[in-house]
Structure 1
Amino acid sequence: MGQQRTSLFEKLLSRRARAFWSRAANAAGTTDLSSLRNQRNEARILRQKLDELTYTADSRLALPRIGSSSFPKPAGTDWSWRPQLWRGALPVKGMSSVDSKTMLGDEVTIFHDCQISELTLRQLRNTREADLAPFGLRMDVFRFDGSFLSLVLNLPQTSCEGLLRRHLLRMEAIVEVEKPLEIFARLNVRHGPNTEQIVRELPMNGDNVMVEFDLAYTKLNEKRVEAMWIDLIFEGPEMNQVTIRDVTFSRHPRAEL
């Protein structure tokens, strides 16, 4: 009974608060500046809290489940990861005329050398029954006057822990393109002053693609691994739409011969 009274009381307070801010918004054009300044400060604080509530609610209520790192992994996998952009809602859902070195969240950065950017990016909600990732990334490229376009995915430090030359790093993705496009994935592993690189072309013969990077073909110093990142390189992206519905990584040791 107490919980019911509290709920009714909170609803009444909420209704009165909405009415107050509705009146304040309607009267903002004639409110004296001192009162308007105070209302603006209060509104900014309220908006911050409402944004936090909305973000958390979206994360908990949307499907597939926000934050999900669930996906099939090879036998023997000792590390796996799905980047945050595909796991959770970003504060900024989309942007246009995107400049080089623009970050999407904390892990993904776009690079290009266009003089005039006609590139848009948008995080979208995956709702198909087959989708395991809660979110996807849509990139629209119109006129493209540059020589390169890439997305850089910074792998977390945990990907470097215990990394050996006998490891295989697998990248799986769901990629949809408006018209045929060549996409390359370049693995970079920094160890001390050196950086090892392995390049693989994504087999674009279907939406689901997979490539593996075999570290046995590198000169990796296992004791000095510091960082890993992936460059997704798009060749000739002009007038195309690319939707990356999922990107996942897993690491497993190669079978002994």
Structure 2
Amino acid sequence: MAKFGTQFLNAAVSKWISQRWARNTQKANDVPMETLRRQFHEAWALKTRLDSFIQVAQERMALPIVGSTTFRKPHNADWSWRPTLWRIPLPVPGLSSAKTKAPLGTELTLFHDCALSELGVRQLRNLHEADLAPYGLRLDVFRFDGSFLSLVLDLPEDFAVGLKRTHLLQMRTIVEMEKPIEIFARLNIRHGPNTEQIVRELPLHQPNVMVEFDLGYSKMNEKRVEKAWIDLIFEGPEMNEIILRDMTFSRRPRAQL
């Protein structure tokens, strides 16, 4: 009830202010110069505040909505997912001199074997008009004395529910780089004591990168699937800035031949 009363009062005040300035505008040619100067300064101060509010509001409304799960997926997908890092803000948005096994939220982990880390990772707010993901991930790599750099993304438990060898897993991402490198995605599926692996190179010549993992080529035991994860492997990342604007996954049954 108190909230309704406050909203009613705010609406009434807003209407009164609007009507007041409408009257001031109608009388602007006739009022004394002293009154006109005072009203001018009041109007200018109000305009400055309104312009600032409009700018902030427009920027917020133009950005992808935090928590968004909207993205392109096959019409017959029976599972889809955008990882948390690309949906909501992390408690700790970035790391400098990032150590190996450094967690980035609860699903993503950074791995490398550098003796001296000159790696920086940071979650950033997407601002591009075409962005669907609210957030992205930036990797700043300076001197790199290691032999590998990778991000390990744990797929959620519900990915394994009902998983069949007749399934295709589709991965989509948007990648920006200062200079071209090779990036590989490796799907790992643990089933019993064994782990099945399927590797795909990302076609980075495309603006919207897409790869598919066909489980029909695996020897996965459907009844013993325990866990699945993605390794994102960066080849020759030294002196580069790499931004992953989005990362999404979907699963669908392969068309029967």
Q: Letter of the aligned partner of 2:82 in structure 1? A: R
Matched ranges for 1:1-257 at <5 A: 2-3=2-3, 63-257=63-257
Shift in CA distance, 225/3, structure 1 to aligned 2, threshold 3 Å: closer
**Residue 206 (structure 1) shift:** 2.7
- TM-score by structure 2 length? 0.77
**Residue 3 (structure 1) shift:** 4.5
Q: For the residues of structure 2 that align with 1:187 and 1:89, how far apart are their CA atoms? A: 26
Q: Letter of the aligned partner of 1:101 in structure 2? A: K
**Residue 207 (structure 1) shift:** 2.7
2:172–2:249 CA contact under 8 A, matched in 1 = yes
SS at match of 1:85: helix
2:136–2:244 CA contact under 8 A, matched in 1 = yes
The equivalent residue for 2:47 is none
Q: Letter of the aligned partner of 2:164 in structure 1? A: L
Shift in CA distance, 193/125, structure 1 to aligned 2, threshold 3 Å: same
Q: For the residues of structure 2 that align with 1:61 and 1:89, how far apart are their CA atoms? A: 17
Q: For the residues of structure 2 that align with 1:122 and 1:208, how far apart are their CA atoms? A: 21
Q: For the residues of structure 1 that align with 2:145 and 2:254, how far apart are their CA atoms? A: 42
> Which structure has the bigger radius of gyration?
2
SS at match of 1:131: coil
Shift in CA distance, 6/156, structure 1 to aligned 2, threshold 3 Å: same
Q: Letter of the aligned partner of 2:154 in structure 1? A: N
SS at match of 1:223: helix
**Residue 94 (structure 1) shift:** 1.2
Task: Please give the per-residue CA displacement for 1:129-150, whole angstroms capped at 9, x wherever unaligned.
Answer: 1000000000000000000000
Q: For the residues of structure 2 that align with 1:164 and 1:111, how far apart are their CA atoms? A: 30
**Residue 4 (structure 1) shift:** 8.5
Aligned residues: 205
Identity of aligned residues (%): 68
Q: For the residues of structure 2 that align with 1:139 and 1:207, how far apart are their CA atoms? A: 18
SS at match of 2:136: strand
Q: For the residues of structure 2 that align with 1:5 and 1:75, how far apart are their CA atoms? A: 47
RMSD: 1.8
**Residue 72 (structure 1) shift:** 1.1
**Residue 76 (structure 1) shift:** 1.0
Q: For the residues of structure 2 that align with 1:3 and 1:188, how far apart are their CA atoms? A: 52
Unaligned residue ranges in structure 2 (runs of 5+):
8-59
